[in-house]
Amino acid sequence: MPILRVEIFEGRSAEKKRELVQGLTAETVRVLECGEASVNVIIDEVKKENWAVGGELYSDKLV
């Protein structure tokens, strides 16, 4: 039972998350030769104020 955990910034639409889950599932089935029903995908959405790189919060970056 593969479990894939994905952490992304919050704010993406349900359609984009659906597309991501379908793509990850299809590729996992292909590579691991397992059943689609056995693939679990967990999406954790993180606020930019709770994610940092290089000592700087993403919420402070000019993006």
> Active-site residue among 2, 17, 24, 58?
2
Q: What is the pTM of this model?
A: 0.88
Q: 3-class DSSP state for residue 61?
A: coil
The predicted-structure confidence for 13-44, as pLDDT tens digits, reads as follows 999 999 999 999 999 999 999 999 999 999 99
Residue with the two structure tokens 């919050």: 10
Domain count across the chain: 1
* Whole-number Cα distances in Å, 51 to 41, 56, 60: 21, 8, 10
Reply yes or no on whether 2 is catalytic.
yes
The predicted-structure confidence for 11-20, as pLDDT tens digits, reads as follows 999 999 999 9
CATH number at residue 52: 3.30.429.10
Alpha carbon 20 to its chain centroid, in Å, reads: 7
Domain that holds residue 18: 3-60
Residue 9: phi and psi, rounded to 5, are -65, 145
